[in-house]
Amino acid sequence: MVKISVTREALSAGLQMVNGVVGARPTIPVLSNVLLEAEADHLSLTATDLEIFVRCRVDAKSAKAGVTTLPARRLLSIVRELSAENVEMDTDDKHMTEIASGAAFFKVMGMAVDDFPAPADFSSGAVFTLEAGALKQMLQRVHYAASADETRYILNGCLLSFRGNKLTVVATDGRRLALAEQEQEIPQESETDIVLPSKTVNELLRTLRDEGPVKITLTKNQAAFEFDNVLVISKLIEGTYPNFRQVIPSHCEERVAVEREMLLTAVRRVALMTSEKSSSVRLSFGKNKLKVSASSPDAGEANESLPVKYTGKEMAVAFNPEFIMEPLRTLVDDEIFFELVDELSPGVIKCSTPFLYVLMPMRIS
Amino acid sequence: MALHLLHVDMDAFFAAIEVRDNPALRGLPVIVGAPPDRRGVVSTCSYEARVFGVHSAMPSRTAYKLCPQGVFLPGRHSHYSAVSRQVMEVLESFTPYVEPVSVDEAFLDVAGVLHAWPDAAALARALKARIRERLGLTASVGVATNLFLAKLASDLHKPDGLTVAPEDDASIRAWLAPLPVGRLWGIGQKSEAILAAAGIKTIGDLQGLGEARLVALLGIGMAQHVWPLANGRDERRLSPEPRDERTISHEHTFDEDCRDLERVRGVLLEQAERVAVRLREAGRLARTARIKVRFGDFSTITRQAPFPAPTDTDRELRQAARLLWEREGIRRPVRLIGFGVSDLVTPGEAAPRQPMLFPEFDRSAAPPTRERDRRIDRVVDRLRADFGRDVIRRGE
């Protein structure tokens, strides 16, 4: 039984770390709860939805080791409302936990720990160590391109390809594709590809810090991420990811540098005049000018011209505005590069770091 | 939430138009639909006929038995469509936010024009008066805070009714409570029987049941749909732009329930061609195909599927009809067969298409034969226009 003293701040931070995977209506009741495991000098908080498993350790003082489970959402809302610095928790043998903090006192009904699922075994498997910040940035730069169409489940996540001494992270919904890459020492026998579900990617984006290492352990159908005091274990999407190399254009006819922020705001403004029926904006490249325009028979029209250095052939390409804006929002470079072949072939957005984004123009039939 | 949604339902629409156009029919039981000595159903009947138990979708023969003195009229459907258009025009004179549901009913969102009226009920009264003045027809109107309640309200006091649903949650729940569960959208005979077996007859019974018990009875999908409705909640919004809900369809009722399913299939494929011709005449493309099959016991199924890309060719419409028919694997005698298309678009305004980067994912490409099919269809249409329909037939 848990008997522990912990700071409100540490408890709150730990609960927020694990709370993301607690579902609203889990199939097994105990999955609405967070598992609390007390040790002499720390408290482990664990939550899972059977697909993802998140554990976070926070500093705490405990007279003796003990475990219990408490409703995750309720516990977090209680802790959020507390104002004293310390929180004392004491569980009886019926999984009733008393929570005392300053003058506030709660008795919270818990549940037995027996049904709480144990995490998978990760004592063997390929191990990689990365910079947490770098992994987070790569995921951030590609994850939005993943598909939400459940009939294409293999695309409902990010591909992490550990090959050729590089980690390549890819996401696509079949219409556009985002790819980020970084050097990574990978022994030949450890080369592998995994597809991480979007939900796990979002959990990682939420929990990964910008500094420190992250240790990744891969087994056949699961991946474990360990960083700071956090452990995230996720099921993987099984199946064969489409050959993404085949859709990356091997050459381009025109390459033009554009100020990222300027293009983003122009597309955002002009897209106001698109409608559900005809959601496309045209990028017209002319001599030292890029015109962004949109028109919709029932709404009206808009255009905005940006100065660019361009002396190539005149070209007008239509894109889904959302597909242009998403990479522009996540990149930080002042300048990005647009590479084009012609009106109907995929365009490419690049920046000064190893990133590329391929997007298919729309056809006005 | 303020009362801002109206459901307008024309009373006995087709029959009312016949009576208006021919005052000699006033006060008589008028029945529009198939003749009483032939297969086919009643499409609308006047309130005088309803007294005898006649209702729409009832076989005309049954209607005749119930009401032999009824005035049976074949129906002038293009005329009704024209009047329907006039009705919609009247509605549009109140607000541009009109969503036609069928020829004789529509939803209106009047939130933006309410400031010009004392309240929504006053607007609804003016609207009913204008329909009567301009068109000589009556409508029943429901006023509510959401679409479901508006539709329910319009049906409560027919004909020529005006029903305003309550505004706050508690009153809405109390208002719904005495109504039978069958009033909830999605509760058909089957669900009604399941609920009745559990002692649930009224919406109030259902409210008292709790969502968890409802899930156990009807399954999660149905329960999640019905539970909010039973509590008067409906999140659906009226589409701000008038949706293109026009459809083109053909139906055929067999003289006797047809056991020869090859024949039924043949009729269906011919209907697909007829629909294709009308689609081309209208200069439009369809996004969705559907079939309707009714059996001897009147149970009816409709199945629909989107086309890979909007189309108007014989080949693609026939193919869709065949696919939908075969997918159902029907073995029972068929009373009625129908084919239709919906979600029509005009070629010029067809939305820009987003092709796939990965060719293996492309479901939306037009078939490679599209252009050739178009040319064949044009030639066949011209031949038939000059020499009649039977001058040329498709080989299987």
Residue pair A255/A337 in contact by the 8 Å Cβ criterion: yes
Pick from B178, B109, B105: which is nearest to B145 by CA? B109
Q: Is residue B244's pLDDT more than 60? A: no
How far apart are the C-alpha atoms of A365 and B56, rounded to whole Å? 43
Could you confirm whether B256 is annotated as catalytic?
A: no
- Taking an 8 Å cut-off on Cβ atoms, the answer to whether B358 and A298 are in contact is no
Interchain CB distance below 8 Å, A297 and B352? no
How would residue B348 be classed by pLDDT, with cut points 50, 70 and 90? low
- Is the pLDDT score of B71 beyond 50? yes
If you measure CA to CA, which chain B residue comes closest to A348?
B357
The whole-number pLDDT of residue B242 equals 44
ipTM: 0.77
Q: What is the pLDDT of residue B350?
A: 55
Q: Shortest CB distance from A363 goes to which of B355, B357, B358?
A: B355
What is the identity of the amino acid at B370? R
d(CA B361, nearest CA chain A) in Å: 7
pLDDT digits (tens, 9 = 90+) for A26-67: 878 899 999 999 998 999 999 999 999 999 999 999 988 899
Q: Which residues of B185-202 are buried (b: 16+ CB within 10 A; e: fewer)?
A: eebeeebbeebeeeebeb
State how far the Cα of A36 lies from the Cα of A231, in Å rounded to an integer.
15
Q: pLDDT higher for B367 or A100?
A: A100
Report the alpha-carbon distance of residue A77 to residue A12 in Å, rounded. 9
CA distances A281 to A278, A304, A364, B57, Å, are 9, 11, 11, 49
pLDDT at B386: 77
Task: Give the pLDDT mean for B269-273.
Answer: 93
Classify B286 as helix, strand or coil: strand
CA atoms within 13 A on the CB side of A10: 20
A residues 101..160 contacting B (CB < 8 A): 152
A364 touches chain B (CB under 8 A): yes
Q: In this complex, do A152 and B361 lie within 8 Å of one another by their Cβ atoms?
A: yes
- B361 with B280: CB under 8 angstroms? no
Buried b (16+ CB within 10 A) or exposed e, A267-286: bbebbebbeeebbbbbbbbb
Contacts of A277 in chain B (CB under 8 A): 349, 351
Does B294 have pLDDT greater than 80?
Answer: yes
Q: Give the closest residue to A219 by CA, choosing from A184, A190, A188.
A: A190
Share of chain B above pLDDT 90, in %: 48
d(Cα B200, Cα B258) in Å, to the nearest integer?
Answer: 39
> In a 3-state reduction of DSSP, which class is residue B168?
coil
The beta-carbon neighbor of B357 closest among A152, A247, A297 is A247
Please state the rounded mean pLDDT for residues A273-298: 86
Higher local confidence (pLDDT), B264 or B351? B264
How confident is the model over B245-264, as pLDDT tens digits?
A: 478 888 888 878 899 999 99
A172 touches chain B (CB under 8 A): yes
pLDDT value at residue B111: 85
Å from B48 to nearest chain A CA? 45
Residue A68 pLDDT more than 50? yes
Q: Terminus-to-terminus CA distance in chain B, angstroms? A: 58
Average pLDDT over residues B273-277: 91
**Alpha-carbon gap, residue B201 to B184, rounded angstroms:** 12
pLDDT band for position B351 (cuts 50, 70, 90): low
Q: Do A365 and B361 touch (CB under 8 A)?
A: no
Mean pLDDT score, A323-338: 94
CB-based burial of residue B213 (10 Å sphere; 0-12 exposed, 13-18 middle, 19+ buried)?
middle
pLDDT reading at B122 higher than 90: yes
Residue of B nearest to A246 (CA): B358
Integer angstrom CA distances of residue B370 from A255, B211, B288, B315, B375: 36, 50, 17, 9, 9
For the segment B285-290, the average pLDDT, to the nearest whole number, is 90
Residues B12-24 pLDDT 10s: 999 999 999 999 9
B-side interface with A, Cβ within 8 Å? Answer: 241, 349-358, 360-361
Helix (H) or strand (E) holding B335: strand B334-345
Q: Identify from A154, A156, A175 which residue to disrupt to test chain B contact, counting B C-beta atoms within 10 A and taking the largest count.
A: A175
Q: Is the CB of residue B148 less than 8 Å from the CB of residue B231?
A: no
Angle between helices B220-230 and B211-218 (to 10 degrees): 140
Work out the angle at residue A96's Cα, subtended by the Cα atoms of residues A92 and A101, and round it to the nearest 5 degrees: 95
The tokens describing A170, both together, are: 């890819």
**pLDDT at site B52:** 93
Mean pLDDT calculated for residue range A299-326: 92
- How many CB atoms within 10 Å of residue B274? 16
**Beta pairing partners, B143:** B6, B164
Cβ proximity of B312 and B276 under 8 Å: yes
Is residue B109 pLDDT above 80, yes or no? yes
Higher-pLDDT residue of B349 and A340 is A340
Written as one string, the DSSP assignment of A158-181 is: EEEEEETTEEEEEEE-SSEEEEEE
For residue B300, pLDDT over 90 is answered with no
Average pLDDT over residues B361-368: 68
Q: What is the average per-residue pLDDT within A158-171?
A: 96
Q: Is the pLDDT score of A84 beyond 70?
A: yes
Q: What are phi and psi of B370, to 5 degrees?
A: -50, -50
Quick check: B110 and B3 in contact, CB under 8 A? no
Contact B147, B236 (CB under 8 A): yes
Contact A365 B352 (CB under 8 A): yes
Instruction: Please give the Cα distance from A66 to A43 (Å, whole number).
Output: 10
Query: What pTM value is reported for the model?
Result: 0.57
Confidence of residue B243 (pLDDT cuts 50, 70, 90): very low
Secondary structure (H, E, C), A113-148: CCCCCCCCCCCCCEEEEEEHHHHHHHHHHHHHHCCC
pLDDT of residue A277: 59
pLDDT tens-digit map of A202-255: 999 999 999 999 999 999 889 999 999 999 999 999 999 999 999 999 988 899
Find the helix or strand (DSSP H, E) in which A47 lies.
strand A42-48
CB A282 within 8 A of CB A315: no
- Catalytic hit among B48, B105, B270, B273: B105
Window 51-90 of A, Cβ < 8 Å to B: none
Identify the residue among A151, A156, A277 best suited for mutation to test binding to B, counting B beta carbons within 10 A and taking the highest.
Answer: A277
